[in-house]
Structure 1
Amino acid sequence: MPDIILHRLPDQLRENLRLVFVGTAASTRSAEVGHYYAHPGNRFWRAIHEAGITSRRYQPSEFAALLELGIGFTDLSKSGAGMDHQIARETIDVAGFKAKIDKYRPRTIAFTSKKAASLFYGRRSSAIALGRQPRDAGLPEILVLPSPSGAASGHWTLEPWRELAAWIAA
């Protein structure tokens, strides 16, 4: 089987976004096609619509259009790809992510898995609660969402996504 060359997903960031979604790394499918949350089994695009974050259901190929809505995207690993447990620890760049947040100053950060949040906070995933996190001076509001990945079906709930929609609408 030939090796697949994985291309990282480009950041979709600019100053003063109302929301930035942050994953651990691109899935293998997302890296192959160059679109965030591109695997057909991923609930991301359905969740942001059903929760009321977007007025319609966007397709993964339309991810860049969300900048017009004040919504951006990035990952903690810009060079890794695959499921969270497949991402090499050395590709996780928390310092680089914090520098992006300092530069662009979004109003809200939403980690799209407890794993991504645990890497950011330096704590075990089991110590991370879903929903809004305690306020940390110098950082935007932070919410942790259940992973929309089909592989995380057993832990899926739309409620934290709805909490996010209500928060950014306020």
Structure 2
Amino acid sequence: MKSRNYGRCNSASLRKCRKPVQRRSSTAGATPCSACAPRATPPFVAEPVLPDLLRPGLRLVFCGTAASRASAAARAYYAHPGNAFWRALAQTGLTPRRFAPREYPQLLDYGIGLTDLGKHAAGTDAELPADAFDTEGLRARILHHAPAWLAFTSKHGAQSFRGQAVGYGIQPWRIGASRVFVLPSPSGQARRSWDLSLWQTLADLIKECS
């Protein structure tokens, strides 16, 4: 008796019926996550990202490396929520209360000024162009305004200006008549090196100048 075919495909017909299955790669067309994608180097801008807060005869001028992206967006110094700068000023008595970043012009009322080593680019130190820091520009501003003290708000900024390793605290060198102090960075990315006591030491020195 012949076997009957009840609609089953034989081996030849199976080969005709089957269609190749295209497997999609798990990475095909995938968009890299923001944490993995490289960030573009911040461009130089013609105008300073933040204006200097300077005038002759100040007791103290703080100098950062460059404005952060948050500060550039807010048009205010040390504007990132994780930055301890404004809290440190209040805790050490350099200001009578904790100012909001947008209130930074009021620091002049307390004999305090602000500037940055890099004025024409914004971002973290790792993101900045290699030639972002204008050391001679900073030197000229300090010589012109002659504050009693210049305080770098990070060791990286001081070392970039000096061209050699420096320690925290009072420095053995000056810029003109201005004495120099190096502080631990208030940035949230530098929490491991944060030390409020050095900020208090500086505040005590500034109060002696009053």
Aligned to 2:109: 68
Aligned to 2:91: 50
TM-score (norm. length: structure 1): 0.92
RCO higher in structure (CA 8 A, sep ≥6): 1
Aligned to 1:164: 202
Question: How much identity, in percent, do the aligned residues show?
Answer: 47
| Structure 1 residue 30: Cα displacement | 0.2
What secondary structure sits across from 2:159 in the alignment? helix
Q: 1:9 aligns with which of 15, 39, 50?
A: 50
Aligned to 1:37: 78
What secondary structure sits across from 1:136 in the alignment? strand
Unmatched 5+ residue regions in structure 1?
Answer: none
Residues of 2 paired with 1:59 and 1:84: CA distance? 23
The answer (yes or no) to whether the contact 2:58–2:113 under 8 Å persists in 1 is yes
Residues of 2 paired with 1:137 and 1:116: CA distance? 15
Q: 2:169 aligns with which of 131, 155, 164?
A: 131
| Structure 1 residue 136: Cα displacement | 3.1
What secondary structure sits across from 2:67 in the alignment? coil
Residues 43-97 of structure 1: CA deviation (Å, up to 9, x unaligned): 0000111112111111101000101111100001001111112121212100011
1:91-110 → structure 2 map (5 Å cutoff): 91-110=132-151
> Which amino acid in structure 1 is aligned with residue 184 of structure 2?
P
What secondary structure sits across from 1:85 in the alignment? coil
| Structure 1 residue 137: Cα displacement | 6.8
TM-score (norm. length: structure 2): 0.75
Provide runs of 4+ in structure 1 moved above 6 Å.
3-7
Aligned to 2:180: 142
The answer (yes or no) to whether the contact 2:61–2:115 under 8 Å persists in 1 is yes
1:15-26 → structure 2 map (5 Å cutoff): 15-26=56-67
Unmatched 5+ residue regions in structure 2?
Answer: 1-33, 35-39
Matched, 1:80 2:121: yes
Report the RMSD for the aligned CA atoms in angstroms.
1.9
Residues of 2 paired with 1:162 and 1:13: CA distance? 22
Aligned to 2:20: none
> Which amino acid in structure 2 is aligned with residue 147 of structure 1?
S
Greater per-residue helix proportion: 1
Residues of 1 paired with 2:154 and 2:145: CA distance? 22
**137-146 or 88-97, which moves further after superposition?**
137-146
Number of aligned residue pairs: give it. Answer: 166
Residues of 1 paired with 2:169 and 2:142: CA distance? 19
What secondary structure sits across from 1:86 in the alignment? coil
Aligned to 1:112: 153
**87-96 or 40-49, which moves further after superposition?**
87-96
**Structure of greater Rg:** 2
| Structure 1 residue 135: Cα displacement | 3.6
| Structure 1 residue 134: Cα displacement | 0.9
